[in-house]
Chain A
Amino acid sequence: MTEVTRFTHGSRIPGWDDAVDPDKAPAPVPDAATTPVPAELRQEIEAEMAKYPVSRSALIPALHAAQRVHGWCSPEAIEQVATVMGITPGEVAAVATFYDMFETKPVGRQTIYVCTNISCSLRGGDKILAAMKAAAEGDADFNIRGFECLGACDMAPMASVNGDFVGPLEPADCAQIVSDLKGGLEVIPSKQLRARPCADPAGNVAVTSNEGGQS
């Protein structure tokens, strides 16, 4: 009989097929007195919690903050978020594993998402991903991932480099991006989204001193 391979078809949840120990008691809400949390992180999470009528809403902002401090959503980071928010580490981990931007394994600090969705792949997104990986080959400081549509298909093929959108990219740009990052420089300023005008001619008309309504 052929062996049936289970749970290998891939879920969006990393680690969902890792073995669990059913005899282990669920972790309780960590004790604030014995779980040290960096003061700045605590303040940031508490400020987020104050924004919502139900403080649990601050969980995603809290994880963003913790990931910024720890580099990834490490068990320690999850523990700290749970401590400040008064929920169990399990509840925090359940949320952290759902979202693509939260890293649940240690990764490099330089985060590059290369879009490989439809509009980018029609214009060579897969080649950009390969070139980007090749350019940063062997450097553990780089976290390069193929990503779903980033909402910038007009600049396809594109990538998000530490949050800055750049495109349209040529494979040759990848080495430039990697070396710019290594040198602490801004990546290809002329290809950044912030420099991109609206394609619609109406968006670009010379601004006259029309003080009336908008339309």
Chain B
Amino acid sequence: MSAILFDRIDEPGLNDIAVYEKRGGYEALKKALTVPTAGIIEELKASGLRGRGGAGFPLGTKASFIPTADIDKYLVCNADESEPGTFKDRELMQKNPHLLIEGMIIAAYAVGANRSFIYIRGEYELQANILEEAIAQAKASGYIGENILGSGFSLDLVLHRGAGAYICGEETGLLDSLEGKRGNPRLKPPFPANQGLFQGPTLINNVETLATIPPILRMGGSEYAKLGVENSAGTKLVSISGNVQRPGNYEIELGMSSRDIIYGLAGGPDEGRTVKFWFPGGSSSPVLTADDLDLAYDFDTLAKAGTMLGSGAIIVVDDTNSVVDVALTLASFYKHESCGKCTPCREGTTWTVKMLQRIQDGEATPMDLDIISSVQEQIIGNCLCVLGDAMAMPVSSLVTKFRAEFEEHIEAARERNGLGMTPPPASEEPALSL
């Protein structure tokens, strides 16, 4: 497979428009502007590209939901990238900003949006400065502005820096934040395609999704669709971190074996250690164990295994780590980031942290594990957005798959705490329902 997004990404000066153009940059835009917009959406549909931000919704279908009426429409690029373990958009924006900008101009043209925004997380200062410079260059070259390259199409592009809030990656929380409010998610429907930014139809996509548009148009949608496997077309950037020897971003063809990614590309855990469990798609995805290493890395295979590909962030945890520590770090993160709008999420994340802390402090009994599991069940599906589920799914997967270790940990911590033996295992008692 030849690299598509990471092709020679370390080429010096690539963030300069002259270097980008020299390797064929902005040619896809020039071609696109001569094609009727419906034709571009057809190409995107033919490519089979599914959103790279987490939910995996097909790009072409989403673009076709935007009404064709002549009203104010918006394009928003989601560059919030705050899901723990995810850092792929960072590398793309920092090293090849024009690829994203070109993709955005084409997407805006396809759906008839005249205003576009990049919502970048506030912590990405270096990347924001690089993008700002690249946007100015694209404006100076006439790719952004009035009547782009004589096509009659006009577009404004504004870089908007966030200020540190994971929930602003959720698309409707992002829209509120972009309107100058607290980043609380909105009730859906209406979906952003109908009523998004400033109440107008809004196409919102991840950085990687939008950056894949120019290569798709260059190759042709059906040619792109030949990459990858059924229902998971194309290449994907995966961010690998945690206990591996060569952490980093890699571009893979979807359907590659997970073992080849974790061991082949990232070198696996240090000498003498083994994979205990791994998050296949960011910290929100239910964990898999060493038994699952041969699963193909694509949307459908991971969904069948009860987890998800998510943002493509693989976090590897080796056998030297305690499952309780990881669960507590995870739950604390979601508790901190819950916007507080829905009770199950706000209270559920808070109580999960408290109960895991009780385990650490040696005050818990195995019955606490049943209560933890029942709290997770009561969060899932009962919230406005999926942040609550994003804690509940991985935490309940940890408790289910590593129950014995949790129980051992509870015993040991009680022992340390001088509380001695625990009462009989909880499974003999009815689970407490809250």
Enumerate chain A interface residues (CB-CB to B < 8 A).
9-13, 51-54, 56-61, 63-64, 94-95, 98-102, 113, 116-119, 121-123, 148-156, 160, 163-165, 193-194, 197-200, 202-205, 207, 210-215
Contact = CB atoms under 8 A, between A and B. Distances in A.
Contact of B123 (A10, A59, A151, A213): A151
B6 interface: yes
B145 interface: no
A12 B180 contact: no
Interface in B128-187: 158, 160-166, 177-183
Nearest to B183: A98
26 contacts: A10-B335, A10-B336, A10-B350, A64-B161, A95-B181, A99-B162, A101-B163, A117-B329, A118-B85, A119-B242, A119-B315, A121-B329, A149-B83, A151-B86, A151-B90, A151-B123, A152-B90, A153-B242, A156-B242, A193-B126, A199-B246, A199-B249, A202-B8, A212-B24, A214-B24, A214-B214
B198 A12 contact: no
B239 to A, nearest CB: 7
Given A61-B160, A118-B283, A211-B22, A151 B81 contact: yes
Contact of A99 (B124, B165, B239, B325): B165
Contacts of B240: 154, 199
Contacts of A113: 123
A154 B123 contact: no
A207 B87 contact: no
Contact of B82 (A94, A151, A205, A213): A151
Going nearest first, the 7 A-B pairs with the smallest beta carbon separation are A199-B248, A100-B164, A202-B3, A153-B241, A59-B180, A99-B163, A101-B164
Given A57-B160, A118-B315, A205 B90 contact: no
A213 B24 contact: yes
B321 A122 contact: yes
Interface residues of B, number: 87
Contacts of B246: 199
B408 interface: no
B42 to A, nearest CB: 20
A205 B123 contact: no
A174 to B, nearest CB: 19
A176 B24 CA distance: 44
B204 interface: no
Most chain A CB atoms below 10 A, which of B81, B158, B338: B158
B263 interface: no
B243 A122 contact: yes
Most chain B CB atoms below 10 A, which of A10, A116, A163, A203: A203
Contacts of A102: 163-164
A199 B250 contact: yes
A59 B179 CA distance: 8
B84 A203 contact: no
